[in-house]
Amino acid sequence: MPLGLLHWLDRLARNLTPLTLSFLLVIYSATPLRIPEFGPVAPNIGLIATCYWGIYRPDLFPATAAFAVGLWQDVLVGTPLGMNALLLLAIHWFILSQRPFFKGKSFAVVWWAFALVATSTAALLWLISMAYYGRLLNPTPAAFQGIMTVALYPFLTWVFARTQHAVLRQV
Partner 1 sequence: MKYRAGSVLRLAAPFRALTQRSAFLFLILAAIGLMILGKAETLLIERVRSGIVDVVAPIMDVLSRPAAKVNAIVDEMRHLTELRSENQRLHLQNGQLLQWQEAARKLSAENATLRNFFNIVPDSRVQFTSARVISDSVGVFARSVLIKAGEHHGVTTGQAVITGQGLAGRILSVGDSSARALLITDLNSRIPAIIEESRERAIVAGDNSGQPRLTFIGRDNQVELGNRVVTSGHGGAFPPGLPVGVVSEIIGDIIRIQPYVRFNQLEFVQVADFSGVIQAQDMPSDPESGIP
Closest among 142, 135, 137 to 84, alpha carbons compared: 142
DSSP for 85-145, please give it.
HHHHHHHHHHHHHTHHHHTT--HHHHHHHHHHHHHHHHHHHHHHHHHHHTS----HHHHHH
**Binding to partner 1 by residue 17, rule CB under 8 A?**
no
Contact 144, 109 (CB under 8 A): no
Rounded distance, CA 50 to CA 64, Å? 11
- Choose between 38 and 107: whose C-beta lies nearer to partner 1: 38
- Choose between 85 and 110: whose C-beta lies nearer to partner 1: 85
Site for partner 1 in 110-169 (CB under 8 A): 125, 129, 132-133, 137-138, 141-142, 145
- Choose between 117 and 125: whose C-beta lies nearer to partner 1: 125
- Choose between 109 and 151: whose C-beta lies nearer to partner 1: 151
Binding residues for partner 1 (CB under 8 A): 27-42, 63-64, 67, 70-71, 75-83, 85-86, 89, 93, 125, 129, 132-133, 137-138, 141-142, 145
